[in-house]
Each structure stands twice: as structure tokens, then as C-alpha cells.
Structure 1
Amino acid sequence: MELALTADQRSEGLMYRREMAPDHGMLFDMERVAPAHFWMRNTYISLDIIFIEKNGRVATIAANTEPLSERMIGSGVPVRFVLELVAGTAAKIGLAPGDRVDHPVIAAAQ
């Protein structure tokens, strides 16, 4: 799991990558609780974008995003974290809103 903890890391995210291992992902700590907005500019891999509340609960999931799109993808609710996974992973593992995501970065924010 890669981490995006700084403004620069969050800004670049998974841009410019042509492939990613199925068991890989990137966790973004947005540093504050607020609505989050992502886009797929310069992102060649379709992703599942999981929006996570401060307590680690999945708020919403944007599944199978469109590579290279500049359409804004919003959380719809205030969140603290965002997890990007290879498209289809959320469905494959049965991840759904209300589920809990555990990671030391999320635990540290409690």
C-alpha cells in the first residue's frame, strides 16, 4: 500500500501509471474532514475510489472510474481518507459502504 500524506503526493496520486498490481493501492490522508473530489486526469488505470470517514467507515465508492477523464468524482459527504484500488477490486472483495477499513494511518487519526 502506498501512502499519499503530503499535498504533493495527494496531487500526483496514481497519475502516469500504466499498470498496477491487483493487490496494490494508494491511501490518501486528506488531513481534514471535508467533501473530497478526485479526477482521473493523466491516470491510465481504471480505479475504484473508496471514500472513507475519519472513523474508518466506508462512506461511498466510485467504482470503475474512467481513465483520463477530467470529470470530478466527489465523495458526496465529508471524509478524511480516500483509497484507490484497481477497478473491480471493491466488488471482488465485497467492500461496501458501512464497512470498516483498518490501517495504521487511519488509526492514528482517531
Structure 2
Amino acid sequence: MSRRWPRGLCAVLLLMAWAAPEARDKPSPPVGRGRKVMDVDAKEYVGPTLPRARVRLEDASGGVHRVDVEVAATPEARTRGLMWRQELPAGQGMLFIFPEEEVQSFWMRNTLIPLDMLFIDSAGKIVGIVENAQPRTLTSRSVGLPGRYVLEVPGGWSRASGIARGGTVRFQGLEGIPVVP
């Protein structure tokens, strides 16, 4: 026995799937009291508090720069990232940890501020940097080389701090933070 969907319903579903990115980026309507938003992309989503750690980066002159980070080590936290944040103070960032070292790619949908993205391999080497990624775009950003970590910091921070590809990174406080595939 086969079942057919009503033609009108198919058209509505198709239109929703192909809606313009600017229409998809609009915040969801307010949620009633006691109703939790489950969509990690939604502005109203409130996820669990992320663990905190510190990243120490060496600049080209051997100087050390410290960044206090929130750690995104679950699929939901990695998807949410820094969406909807209106600021990211100097010395702050987000560290994304992936289960495997592979080519990572990021976009800036629902991200309101420019960011630098530092792609770091398992040995703690910066394999590439995307500087000043433009906010609110679906452009895929990658350095094309395998990495296990991506550090997001305020746009322009890497250049201003003298951080470059090939630099060394050390992590403090990641012990005991489970990385969920």
C-alpha cells in the first residue's frame, strides 16, 4: 500500500526547505513559559553552561598570549558556537574540539561579530588562520588541512597579537572534558 502526501503540503514543505537564508536567519517567535527551545540555531536556545579552559599561544617572537575559552566538545555546542553573541572581549574565545583530526569547515550563519579562526592540529601546531571572517554569511571557511581544534577569537586578534601559521599552542584545563562525536 502506498501513501501519497497532499499536493499542497508538499509545496509548503518544499518552499520551507528552499527559503532564502535571510528568512531562515530570522529569530523564532517567543516561546511560552516553561517551553524549552531545542533548536541550537535559534536565538532563544539556552544550552548547558560550557566548560572553561585556557589556550596559550606563542607569537613569532616567542611571546605568549593567553585566551580564556569556552570549550565546545559536543555536537550541539560545536553547532551553536558563538551564534547570536553581540561581543567577544579581548582575551576571550571559544575552543572547538573534534573527535578526529580532519579538515574542518566553519560558516558564520547567525554569528553577529567578525572572528578569527585558528585551525590547530593534534600536535598543537597552528595549520592555518582565517582572519576577520565576515558575520552572517553561509560562506564555508577552511584552511584545507587536517586539524582537531579550532579556536575562535575576536576578528583581527591574530594579526594584532603576532600569531601566525606554524605557531605553537598549549591547552590548559582540557583534562576530563569528554569529546562527544
> Which TM class, normalised by the smaller chain length?
over 0.9
Spell out structure 1 runs of 4+ moving beyond 3 A: none
Where in structure 2 are the equivalents of 1:1-110 lying within 5 Å? 1-104=69-172, 105=174
CA distance in 1, matches of 2:143, 2:99: 15
What displacement does 1:75 show? 2.7
Q: TM-score, normalised to structure 2's length?
A: 0.57
Task: Name the amino acid aligned to 1:17.
Answer: R
Instruction: From the two aligned structures, give the one with the greater strand fraction.
Output: 1
Which residues of structure 1 form unaligned runs of 5+? none
The structure with higher relative contact order (CA 8 Å, sep 6+) is: 1
Give ranges in structure 2 of 5+ residues lacking alignment.
Answer: 1-68
Cα distance in 2, alignment partners of residues 96 and 20 from structure 1: 21
Q: Pairwise CA RMSD of aligned residues?
A: 1.4
TM-score, normalisation: structure 1: 0.93
What residue identity is the alignment partner of 1:33?
E
Task: Figure out how many residues of one structure are paired with residues of the other and give that number.
Answer: 107
Aligned-pair identity (%): 36
Q: Which structure has the bigger radius of gyration?
A: 2
Q: Distance in 1 between matches of 2:143 and 2:78?
A: 15
